[in-house]
Amino acid sequence: MKLLLGLTMIGQTLAFTTRSASVASKRIGSSLRMASSRPYLIGGNWKANGTVASVEKLVAEFNAAGPIPPNTDVVIGAPFIHIPMLLNTLRPDIKVAAQNSALTGTGAHTGEVCASQLKDLGLEWVILGHSERREGFGMAGEDSKLVADKTKLAIDEGLKVMFCIGEKKEEREAGTTMDVCAEQMAPLAEILSEDEWANVSIAYEPVWAIGTGLTATPEMAQETHANIRQWVAANVSQKVADAVQIQYGGSMNGGNAKALLAENDIDGGLIGGDHSSWSFSTSSTGPEHRSRHKKLLQFCTYMTIQRETRQRSVM
């Protein structure tokens, strides 16, 4: 009930304004006509969190939440162990993603879960190239060619991929953000056909803003998203650049989502991390202390409900 009341309050107090053509026309690398056809993609990344009991509770709350607009896709990236439960109990208009898949197919690869197995299980999505996996955590990180090869294999097996890219703080400060993003995207551009890009979304996640509470300003994020779209146009095709969804994944939260999602080249978010100060009402006098996972799911719902009141400029 508290969740539903919060969503209702948001619907009354926060409305995304119609994006004016005069503002949108100033965005670098934007395509006004094609932007109107790109739905939002709201991804939630649970990372290595959750118990059977907590997931059961979250699924019940999410199933009772309001409708998701037809021009918004919501995908939850869950740990492998929770995927069967979500597939069996979560409402069908919310999709489930794995957070990784193997470089190999089935066979003697102990501990791996391959893309064909994920597809056989009933999944449509997988998150690949997340900065935590590129960097490594107590193990070797994944380089750009490896991430591209995993992405190609996942697409060949019928999955869609949230392909993560992004720079570190020192790279942002050195002015090499696009050099880094281009290096991460280049191996993928070399091996995917134009048609295969229809199964890829690009999740731009500035590493310095993931889980830190720091975030790029809407203008900073828009500039990088527009530059990424320009790179895709130059290195893949204008058709793919106009159509590809580019999500923002750098500590998006209830306080900055409205401004970020109003930008012409930001097509959604990939949300994870511990945001203890998220609130779902502009009239709130203090943070609502909920668990990490409940906040993540509520925030995904929050953004999708708001999509109903936001219309992109159509020229």
Q: What share of the chain is helix, strand, coil (3-state, %, to 5)?
A: 45, 10, 45
Distance CA 120, CA 292 (A): 30
DSSP assignment string, 236-300? T-HHHHHH--EEE-SS--TTTHHHHHTSTT--EEEE-S--TT--S-TT-SS-----HHHHHHHHH
Decide the pairing of beta strands 40-45 and 125-128.
Answer: unpaired
CA 199 to chain centre: 14
Residue 82 annotated among the catalytic residues of the structure? no
The residue type found at 283 is S
Distance CA 99, CA 76 (A): 9
From the candidates 82, 130, 225, 293, which is the catalytic residue? 130
Distance CA 141, CA 130 (A): 10
For 218, the token pair is: 């809407």
Residue 225 annotated among the catalytic residues of the structure? no
Distance CA 179, CA 304 (A): 32
For the CA atoms of 292, 297, 303, 306, the dihedral, rounded to the nearest 10 degrees, stands at -130
From the candidates 132, 205, 223, 263, which is the catalytic residue? 205
Mind telling me the catalytic residues? 130, 205
